[in-house]
Amino acid sequence: MSTPHPLITLAHGLALLIALYAAPTHAADYIGPLFDTHLHYNLEAQTEHPMSDVLARMKSSGVKAIVANSRPNEGTKALASATTQTKVAGVTVVPFVRLYRNREDYNSWYKDETIYDMVLTELAQGTPAGPYKGIGEFHLYDSANAKGAVAKKLMALADEKGLAVLAHVDDAAIDLLMANTPSKGQKTKLIWAHTGIGGVSVARVRELMRRYPLLTGELSYRPGLTCGAGQLCPEWRTLLLEMPTRFVLGSDTWINQRWQSYEALMQGYRTWLGELQKETADRIAWGNAAALLGIK
């Protein structure tokens, strides 16, 4: 084994140093407040993750407001009724009426008149945290079901009352749901859960965002959003910078596993938010949801 010439060693060392300093610096994580716009506190979560546990997870994640909805609505009401605990945790609860009493309702809500009646009853009752500000999350596994009688009535109701709608649907269903509103989607506060979980193209997302001024993209589970070590993929970064007022964040705690990784999910958002200008990061993390839902 031969010893390298000292000059070669020196050159090698210098090259390493230059590479180190020339490499793009890792942006600091976003440290401001987060608004979790897609949170479920479902029946099965309530035993494994009692109120104190879920609020502690929000607090340690810097989550200062949540859209609360659950199957059945009792979980939402539990969060909305825990006014002292949520105040101590520094969490504002924004209740939404969910359309599901049980798992069977996922597949038939769009044509079930008893769901419509339940929504009206819930809206009339409100919660200790204030009136319901939206309906959903609901799913449409077949976008054609957006034409169901109850789906149509609920979209019209949301539009008339200025309620937000949290919908897990494909891009075709966005057009169909918007067509059911009196404003034809021009005044409809539709929060698009996952912004196309099937991986609809960025070009199509952009097209729908331009067509409907209050359509808002929620980014949990969005395929293609991040690349590598959790950084934004280039075409998504471009879209977020182009439309900084149109996207929000969520945990989607649809199963208990999501509660177990709640802090990590929120840290994932903080990582890529840190790549953006502070003003843009503030909007996506908090401001867009706060403006849409009327929270200070």
Contacting residues toward Zn ion, per CB under 5 A:
137, 252, 254
Cis peptide before 223 (omega within 30 of 0): no
- Residue 143: count other Cβ atoms within 10 Å of its Cβ: 16
Contacts of 57 (CB under 8 A, 6+ apart): 49, 259, 262, 263
**Based on CB atoms, which residue is closest to Zn ion, 137 or 275?**
137
Nearest approach in angstroms of CB 184 to Zn ion is: 26
Nearest approach in angstroms of CB 275 to Zn ion is: 26
**Based on CB atoms, which residue is closest to Zn ion, 37 or 271?**
37
| Position 105, amino acid | D
3-state DSSP of 212-242: CCCCEEECCCCCCCEECCCEECHHHHHHHHH
- 3-class DSSP state of 46: helix
Nearest approach in angstroms of CB 199 to Zn ion is: 17
**Based on CB atoms, which residue is closest to Zn ion, 42 or 244?**
42
Inter-residue contact 134 to 189 (CB < 8 Å): yes
Nearest approach in angstroms of CB 116 to Zn ion is: 21
User: What is the CA angle 39-139-295, rounded to 5?
Assistant: 35
**Based on CB atoms, which residue is closest to Zn ion, 109 or 254?**
254
Nearest approach in angstroms of CB 189 to Zn ion is: 17
**Based on CB atoms, which residue is closest to Zn ion, 105 or 137?**
137
**Based on CB atoms, which residue is closest to Zn ion, 100 or 275?**
100
Nearest to 73 by CA among 48, 96, 90, 44: 96
Compute the distance between CA of residue 18 and CA of residue 5 in angstroms, rounded to an integer: 20
Nearest approach in angstroms of CB 166 to Zn ion is: 8
- 3-class DSSP state of 90: coil
**Based on CB atoms, which residue is closest to Zn ion, 112 or 137?**
137
Nearest approach in angstroms of CB 22 to Zn ion is: 43
Q: Find the residue with minimal CB distance to Zn ion.
A: 252
For the chain, first and last CA: distance in Å?
69
Nearest to 69 by CA among 120, 138, 21, 11: 138
